[in-house]
């Protein structure tokens, strides 16, 4: 059986759906099931059992002999939260307990890190273990993810296989519950549907024109494919970037949403809120040479391909994957 934590959330529920489509049905879903907005994400999935996040380690102690791998995608993902103790508990300490359980029971581990750990990008976006400790995240969420990456690399005892995946800017179906933490694609679609226009943040950085802020946007389908690759591979442990290797501007993204909606472009600009300016990444782009070097050679969907699939097959129909 495969354990997926965060299974009611965005990426976790998509991965469960992908596993189902690949023929995997003996899946254990781990999460807190107290948010009714997440119910559509998992109510149609095929699985063996649902386990509450707080009961997981007791469950694992009894069932560890049946578990093949843990895919740890559960986390507090709010990038503007101001409660350090929550990030400490859920993103660092909980992940440490999963790491140690995988060592104790001889289980492989794939876990979600984040490209937000790269901070303002002044040290680049290389997943080289030698520079990870030097990164300077810009918010509590990113810091908690960074702290776990650093802790994992320092451990003398490790799971026999593990992979920490630094997800770049993921978008796609099943993020409907995330509100303002949902992707820009989701925000743009809803805003354009309601108002016929979309406002982007102005640049407050001299090196970037308005709308030319750029990110490595990756469709959630590609993220699921990479996770499946590691489920099957189970060697070459380490931390890996998971992005497309190409930075695209917010302006390009917004234009692609208008095209997929078959609407004329109507794009304006507003000031970036003061409380976000010091925590804002103006540019991200994954160096994915390491991922490719271990055999991952599937092509990534372009930004336009991902947006078109998301808009036409999910957002317009209000469907989950």
Place of tokens 């679609």: 189
Burial class of residue 235 in the structure, from the number of CB atoms within 10 Å of its CB (0-12 exposed, 13-18 middle, 19+ buried): exposed
| 288-to-22, 226, 248, 280 alpha-carbon distances in Å | 25, 12, 16, 23
Domains: count for the chain = 1
List 32, 178, 197, 279, catalytic entry: 178
User: d(Cα 186, Cα 257) in Å, to the nearest integer?
Assistant: 9
- pTM for the model stands at 0.96
Place of tokens 């879903």: 29
pLDDT tens digits, residue range 244-270?
A: 999 999 999 999 999 999 999 999 999
Does 33 reside within a domain? Answer: yes
Does 315 reside within a domain? Answer: no
Q: Catalytic annotation on 197?
A: no
| pLDDT band at residue 277 under the 50/70/90 scheme | confident
Does 278 reside within a domain? Answer: no
Domain that holds residue 60: 2-172+216-245+287-300
Q: Catalytic annotation on 157?
A: no
Burial class of residue 44 in the structure, from the number of CB atoms within 10 Å of its CB (0-12 exposed, 13-18 middle, 19+ buried): exposed
User: d(Cα 52, Cα 79) in Å, to the nearest integer?
Assistant: 24
| 19-to-4, 24, 52, 60, 146 alpha-carbon distances in Å | 10, 5, 20, 21, 28
| pLDDT band at residue 273 under the 50/70/90 scheme | confident
CATH code: domain of residue 26:
3.40.50.720
pLDDT tens digits, residue range 143-197?
A: 999 999 999 999 999 999 999 999 999 999 999 999 889 999 999 999 999 999 9
Does 231 reside within a domain? Answer: yes
Does 149 reside within a domain? Answer: yes
Does 317 reside within a domain? Answer: no
pLDDT tens digits, residue range 207-246?
A: 999 999 999 999 999 999 999 999 999 999 999 999 999 9
List 87, 111, 118, 141, catalytic entry: 141
Residue 276, pLDDT > 80, answer no
Burial class of residue 83 in the structure, from the number of CB atoms within 10 Å of its CB (0-12 exposed, 13-18 middle, 19+ buried): exposed
pLDDT tens digits, residue range 117-138?
A: 999 999 999 999 999 999 999 9
pLDDT value of position 281: 83
Does 16 reside within a domain? Answer: yes
pLDDT value of position 235: 94
Does 164 reside within a domain? Answer: yes
Contacts of 204 (CB under 8 A, 6+ apart): 271, 272, 277, 280
Which string of DSSP letters, residue by residue, matches 21-75?
A: HTT---EEEEE----GGGHHHHTT---SEEEEGGGHHHHHHHHGGG--EEEE---
> How far is C-alpha 122 from the geometric centre of its chain's CA atoms?
22
């Amino acid at each position: 059986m495969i354990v997926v934590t965060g299974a009611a959330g965005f990426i976790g529920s998509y991965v469960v759906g992908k596993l189902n489509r690949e023929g995997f049905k003996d899946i254990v879903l781990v999460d807190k099931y107290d948010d009714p907005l997440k119910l559509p994400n998992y109510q149609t999935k095929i699985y063996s059992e649902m386990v509450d996040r707080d009961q997981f380690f007791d469950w694992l102690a009894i069932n560890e002999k049946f578990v093949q791998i843990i895919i740890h995608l559960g986390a507090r993902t709010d990038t503007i939260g101001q409660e350090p103790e929550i990030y400490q508990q859920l993103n660092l300490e909980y992940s440490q307990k999963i790491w140690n359980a995988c060592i104790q029971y001889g289980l492989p581990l794939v876990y979600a890190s984040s490209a937000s750990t790269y901070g303002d990008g002044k040290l680049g976006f290389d997943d080289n273990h030698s520079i990870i400790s030097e990164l300077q995240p810009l918010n509590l969420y990113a810091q908690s993810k960074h702290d776990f990456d650093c802790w994992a690399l320092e451990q003398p005892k490790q799971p026999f296989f593990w992979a920490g995946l630094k997800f770049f800017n993921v978008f796609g179906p099943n993020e409907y519950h995330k509100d303002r933490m949902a992707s820009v694609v989701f925000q743009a679609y809803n805003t354009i549907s309601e108002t016929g226009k979309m406002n982007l943040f102005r640049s407050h950085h001299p090196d970037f024109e308005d709308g030319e802020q750029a990110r490595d946007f990756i469709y959630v389908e590609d993220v699921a494919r990479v996770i499946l690759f590691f489920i099957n591979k189970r060697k070459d442990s380490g931390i890996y970037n998971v992005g497309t290797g190409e930075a695209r501007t917010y302006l390009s993204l917004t234009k692609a949403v208008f095209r997929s909606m078959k609407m004329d472009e109507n794009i304006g600009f507003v000031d970036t809120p003061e409380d976000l300016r010091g925590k804002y990444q103006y540019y991200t782009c994954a160096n994915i040479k390491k991922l490719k070097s271990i055999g991952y050679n599937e092509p990534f969907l372009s930004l336009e391909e991902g947006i078109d699939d998301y808009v036409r097959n999910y957002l317009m129909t209000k469907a989950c994957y």
